Structure 1
């Protein structure tokens, strides 16, 4: 069960022209935006990674605008966890549950998840907030990561699991967000 006190959101490489080439790109951006807003509402730590931004471009504006005032952390490794500055931020949160989102599912998301799992993190792969250029590659990544121990979830499922109760101001704000 996801707990607000033990969960962080890690966003992988939703940037440049590559983000526009993703399978179901519009749905991906919508779900990422919803998840980021929900994570901020719940004050979850957020880690924002970009793959070689000088070459691949900046994070998609719809996503970057929601992440203000955070700054993206640059990486050249496919796995965000192999970049020392990102690994340090992930570890500093002391949250062992990870909502993992971004692109591409079969490369950077997959390798980040594998490294997190190897280090004892509980990886919750948000399947409607990850993508690859092809459905086949996304599907393969989900199958392999499930086999390796990742837990599958969706944006709405994760946010309501974190919420746990249907009362209070946070719940009312979450419902408004979902509409």
Structure 2
């Protein structure tokens, strides 16, 4: 079960034209913005990655606005774990579980998640907050990561798991995000 005290969020490479051509991009980006807002509401550590932004472009504006006050970590390897600043930030966050979101599920999300698992972290892929250009590549990556020990969750599922109690101070505001 996810807990606020032990969980963080990673946002992987939601940039440029690619972010607009992944499967169901509008719904995906909307869900991801909700996830980031919920993570901020719950005061989870948030790490934000950008793959080679000089070539691929910056993170989409809707998400950049939601991530305000957080600086992106630039990377050139497909896995975020190939970037020392990211690995340092992961360790500094002092959580044991990472919600992972972003694009593309079968490349950068997959490789980052696999290396986090290999480092001993628990990984939960937020299924409606990851995407690829094709559904088949997304499904393949989710299935392969699940076989390797990652869990698959959804925006609503992880949010209610983290909140736990309808009497929580954050419940009403979180509920307004997903309605």
* Matching of residues 105-124 of structure 1 within 5 Å: 105-124=105-124
* Matching of residues 151-166 of structure 1 within 5 Å: 151-166=151-166
Query: What residue in structure 2 maps to residue 16 of structure 1?
Result: 16
Mapped partners of 1:30, 1:70: distance in 2: 19
The CA deviation at 1:30 is 1.1
TM-score (norm 1): 0.98
Deviations 1:55-103, CA, capped at 9 Å, x for gaps: 1000000001100011111000100012100110011001110000000
Query: What residue in structure 1 maps to residue 32 of structure 2?
Result: 32
Structure 1 residue runs of 4 or more that deviate by more than 4 Å after TM superposition: none
Query: What residue in structure 1 maps to residue 130 of structure 2?
Result: 130
Secondary structure at the residue paired with 1:168? coil
Secondary structure at the residue paired with 1:169? coil
The CA deviation at 1:169 is 2.2
Secondary structure at the residue paired with 2:23? coil
Which has the larger displacement, 166-175 or 101-110?
166-175
Query: What residue in structure 2 maps to residue 144 of structure 1?
Result: 144
Q: How many residues align?
A: 179
TM-score (norm 2): 0.98
The CA deviation at 1:168 is 3.0
Structure 1 unaligned residues grouped into runs of 5+: none
Query: What residue in structure 2 maps to residue 94 of structure 1?
Result: 94
